[in-house]
Amino acid sequence: MARAPHARTRGRRHAARITAALGVLTLALTGLVPAPAASAEDGTDLRVNLPETTSLPVVVAASGEGVLLDVSQGATPRYRATTDDGATFTTPDDRGLTDGRLTTARDGRLVSVVPGDGDGTTSSIYTYDFATGTTADPVTVPAADLLTADDRTAVFTDDTGAYEAFDLATGEQRALAYAPQLPEEDVAVSLGGGTTALMVQTMSTASGLAATGYLDLVPLDGSAGPGRVAVPGLVAAAVRGDQVVYAQAATTSTGSQSLCFRALGTWLDAPSCRTLKVAGLRDQRYVGVDLAAGPDWALWSISSDAGTASWVVAGTTSAAGPVAVQATEETELSWIGDPGRPVAVVPDGDPGFVGSVADDGFISKRFGFPGTPVVESVLELTPDRVTGLDNRPTVTTEDYQAWQRSVSATAIGEEQTPFPRGLDVGTSGARTLLDDGTKLRLYDRGDYVRSLSPGTYGSLPGLISGPYFPAYALSYQQALSVDGKVLKTATLRGLFGSLVLVRTNAKLGRYDVVDLAGGPSVRVNVPVAYRVQGFSLGGLWGDWAFGYTFDSSGVPWTLAINYRTDEVHSRYGLPVDYGNGFVVVKYADTAEDGSDVLGLEVWNPATGQAESIPDTDWDQVVTDGTARLAYSTSSELVLRTLDVVPTSAPRLLGAFAPASLNLITAARSWPLELDTTKAVEAGTLTITDADGEVVRTLTTEAGPDGSVRGIAWDGRDEDGEDVPVGDYTWQLVAAATDGSGNVVGVDGASDVGEEADGTNGVTGTVHVIREYLGTIAGATPTISGTAKVDRTLTARPGTWTPGGTSLGYQWYRTTSKGTTAIDAAVTATYKVTSTDVGARLSVKVTGQLEGWKPTAKTSAKTSTVVKASFTQTPTPTIDDRTPTVGDTVSAFAGTWEPAPVGLSYTWYKVSSSGKSYVLPGSGPSYEVKATDAKYRLKVKVTGTKAGYTTTSRTSKLTSAVAKA
């Protein structure tokens, strides 16, 4: 359902508009007691564990073999502990860790302090034991805040500024013999588990250089210490066992620092120091130093404008020289605790790991990153499924894994991943709109439909509502339909189906609800008091507009305005999500352990009823708009059926269909997609003409997701005949599966029928036309080939549109008597015949496509068709080269091409002077006569064929005819 633009806050729908208010919520409301909310009945929640992803942990502390990690990526820590190098991880008892301050980690135990517990005058100390995985019951210390504490002693200052030590085992409180060198400067206190405390005062000059600081060993029994040690350039100090390790910077702008070791037993003796020249470190006014000391190692880090470098120092009283740690910029070193070796997180390995720093500065792997429940970036809820985005496969991924689960009244289904990865996603009914980073991908019941442009300035797929969704324009927002058509550009503040909440005048705080489908606009009447003190509306559902305001004390209040009845209600807190006459509100609350939390409740403004959500570690929150709430916690996905929400009939969010049904095509269909707010049963769709007569009744399928699909009218009546062109009305009658009534309009009203007898429904219009879809466009054809008998001519049609156009051909012959179509010449090629000799040829190409007006284009005429020439005309031969009177001689014409060729023969006798005389006969044979004596013979063969030039070939002469 509709919600706010994507933002990494707890609750998305209003995130973009109330991010700045979140800090105010936990500060301005401190001490306020919100109105009590009705608790939900037990057993109304469905829960499944969130899947796991690879974490990017932070080492909270380490001691001995124990390592405590925070594997969360959000505001709420998720602790995992291991004592066997990652072979097993446990979830520790985190009392004191989540809400307190970790002070020491030593000897396998972690100590944390929760200041200001109870009535605000005491503090609680919690000790976690790695070996047992348990946290001991807290010890109460009579101080509102503590300087530090370990598992034996707490140190604090009293109301006079005097330093006190509190023995956790006996409860005895002692005054410490310590006064700081400069009372106005802060004092850092470290406890090494022994009988003394280390008091550290670091100073700086007016120019920002490190000045002389002071170290004091203060006995915890109240006796006097061995004396104060002044350390020039003191920047950090740590205590371990019987030794103090401290770092001192040069007191002039040089690039050197020193690490010194001072024994507790010989406190006033000269320390052992190691001096280090730091490359690039010229100005120590802008230097940060971290220092940690373990059993036989020290870890030292210096950060400056030149970057950060770290060193490990092996040994104790005879420490070796500093060795650079081989770390990348991404490596995180741990500074709390006394593990056997320094601990580091190396995230840029393949894969990343938690490792140990050796004496040579190299980091070796101890164990890989543990799994952690995913963090949900987005949650979407429709009547039959919950959809989301989470940070798999790793918490550092830049896009998100899209998933969905089916939901019912009794179960949350198995996870499915039918979509690609994305940056944002929204759902409404059957529709899913996914932003994959380059385009919007629209799905319908899991099937890919089309891609849409995400817009130059970004889109808001999470606000999809039925067939509508918004996107950003340059200075405004656009409301679009799911085919990408822009319907309205304005300052949009909410979307519910075809209804959009528009801020029409920012200065006057004026809002209107505008119907994209053409219905009337409605003014949202905001009381003057809210307009004066400032308010913002950012949500729309049904008849309600939702927003928030701050009172004169800076306390936030959720606003709910019924813009049809002008009811206005307010409730303490900020809106997270909303639905049919209810809103989910977050508010500052106090947990049972006294910690501050963000509570969550569902409020019905009309009745004033509210129900609280039991989880305080909620993250993403979304409703289906009617009866259910889905949210994620640090480890679970929760689906809750709401008790305080009103019940009403499903509303039609929108009807999406072609503008008209064109009868020009035989295979025509008018598909109608309907999206509602609830699951609906099978129903009927009737189509009536202008006289109100029913021409067709269709059965509609059930829509468990709130959408009605599978409707397609072919423009025919019940008898299968085409209906006349004109306007027709469709009417849907379909009931909600929860028994709340039939589908009504987006405004909550029925278009036709009576609710009492179940005939009420919604209507729309379809225009039936019979019109060409357009005219086919085509190029003028050309003819390739030679206009000569028996040659093949080819028509070149060129490009024709639209695609799918079929082409027909007709060849024409033009003579002095006119132009006539050539019988059977209806293909793209034509073989010239003898009939065409003396004529000119042309071709007409006709483009046809169902529903489109056909187009014919005729080529230019060819040149005049000429006769062809024989391709083979051999010279004839006479079989008897020495004829005698009385012989019969025969001519051999050879093979003439192309066959068949008509051949005729003419015989000649030739005198010695060369004169030729035609002999009688025309056949291939000739009987030599007595009169032919002394003459030589020859024969001429003439080939004839229709459409071909007549051609003759003559043989060679025989020898003179001899007398018999």
The per-residue pLDDT for 54 is 86
> Strand runs (DSSP E) across 677-776, as ranges?
683-688, 694-700, 707-713, 726-733, 762-769
Please answer whether residues 747 and 654 qualify as being in contact, where contact means their C-beta atoms are separated by less than 8 angstroms.
no
Burial class of residue 190 (count of CB atoms within 10 Å of its CB; 0-12, 13-18, 19+): buried
The per-residue pLDDT for 617 is 85
Please answer whether residues 643 and 44 qualify as being in contact, where contact means their C-beta atoms are separated by less than 8 angstroms.
yes
The per-residue pLDDT for 921 is 87
The per-residue pLDDT for 254 is 65
Q: How many residues does the chain have?
A: 964
The per-residue pLDDT for 30 is 32
The mean per-residue pLDDT over the stretch 107-118 comes to 89
The mean per-residue pLDDT over the stretch 869-886 comes to 95
Query: How many CA atoms does the CB half-sphere of 93 hold within 13 Å?
Result: 17
Mean per-residue pLDDT of the chain? 90
The per-residue pLDDT for 15 is 33
| pLDDT > 70: percent of the chain | 92
SS3 284: helix
Please answer whether residues 41 and 420 qualify as being in contact, where contact means their C-beta atoms are separated by less than 8 angstroms.
no
The per-residue pLDDT for 22 is 32
Q: What's the helix, strand, coil split of the chain in %, to 5?
A: 5, 50, 45
Q: pLDDT tens digit string along 908-953?
A: 999 999 999 999 988 999 999 999 999 999 999 999 999 999 999 9
Q: pLDDT tens digit string along 131-173?
A: 999 999 999 999 999 999 999 999 999 999 999 999 999 999 9
Query: How many CA atoms does the CB half-sphere of 727 hold within 13 Å?
Result: 6
Q: pLDDT tens digit string along 180-209?
A: 998 888 999 999 888 999 999 999 888 888
SS3 327: coil
Q: pLDDT tens digit string along 739-759?
A: 999 999 999 999 999 988 889
Burial class of residue 836 (count of CB atoms within 10 Å of its CB; 0-12, 13-18, 19+): buried
Burial class of residue 594 (count of CB atoms within 10 Å of its CB; 0-12, 13-18, 19+): middle
Q: What does DSSP assign to residue 136?
A: P
The per-residue pLDDT for 351 is 80
The per-residue pLDDT for 546 is 96
Distance, in Å, from the CA atom of 235 to the CA atom of 118, rounded to the nearest integer, reads: 36
Q: What are the residues facing 222 on neighbouring strands?
A: none
The mean per-residue pLDDT over the stretch 842-866 comes to 96
Neighbours of 151 (CB within 10 A): 23
Neighbours of 343 (CB within 10 A): 26
Distance, in Å, from the CA atom of 79 to the CA atom of 94, rounded to the nearest integer, reads: 7
Phi-psi region of 11 (alpha: psi -120 to 50; beta: other; left: phi over 0): left
The per-residue pLDDT for 41 is 41
pLDDT of 486 over the 70 cut: yes
The per-residue pLDDT for 509 is 87
Distance, in Å, from the CA atom of 443 to the CA atom of 380, rounded to the nearest integer, reads: 15
In this prediction, residue 118 has a pLDDT band, given cuts at 50, 70 and 90, of low
User: What secondary structure does DSSP assign to 567-583, as a single string?
Assistant: EEEEEESEEEEEETTEE
| pLDDT > 90: percent of the chain | 76
Distance, in Å, from the CA atom of 867 to the CA atom of 26, rounded to the nearest integer, reads: 102
Give the pairing of strands 163-167 and 447-452.
unpaired
**Could you tell me how far CA 759 lies from the centroid of its own chain?**
42
Please answer whether residues 261 and 316 qualify as being in contact, where contact means their C-beta atoms are separated by less than 8 angstroms.
yes
State which H helix or E strand residue 17 sits in.
helix 15-28
Distance, in Å, from the CA atom of 416 to the CA atom of 418, rounded to the nearest integer, reads: 6
The sign one gets for the Cα dihedral 177, 181, 186, 188 is negative
Look at 318 and 426; give whichever has higher pLDDT: 426
The per-residue pLDDT for 348 is 81
Give the pairing of strands 109-117 and 122-129.
antiparallel
The per-residue pLDDT for 34 is 35
The per-residue pLDDT for 283 is 64
Residues 6+ positions from 720 with CB-CB distance below 8 Å: none
The sign one gets for the Cα dihedral 853, 859, 865, 870 is negative
The sign one gets for the Cα dihedral 850, 856, 859, 864 is positive
Please answer whether residues 817 and 787 qualify as being in contact, where contact means their C-beta atoms are separated by less than 8 angstroms.
no
State which H helix or E strand residue 562 sits in.
strand 556-562
The mean per-residue pLDDT over the stretch 471-496 comes to 92
The mean per-residue pLDDT over the stretch 466-470 comes to 97
Q: Residue-wise over 894-917: b if at least 16 C-beta within 10 A, else e?
A: eebeeeebebebbbbbbeeeeeee
**Could you tell me how far CA 461 lies from the centroid of its own chain?**
9
Distance, in Å, from the CA atom of 63 to the CA atom of 120, rounded to the nearest integer, reads: 31
The per-residue pLDDT for 36 is 33
Q: What are the residues facing 81 on neighbouring strands?
A: 68, 90
In this prediction, residue 665 has a pLDDT band, given cuts at 50, 70 and 90, of confident
Q: pLDDT tens digit string along 499-550?
A: 999 999 988 889 999 999 999 999 999 998 888 788 899 999 999 999 999 9
In this prediction, residue 595 has a pLDDT band, given cuts at 50, 70 and 90, of low
In this prediction, residue 12 has a pLDDT band, given cuts at 50, 70 and 90, of very low
Alpha helices in 730-781 (DSSP H): none
Q: pLDDT tens digit string along 800-833?
A: 999 999 999 999 999 999 999 999 999 999 999 9
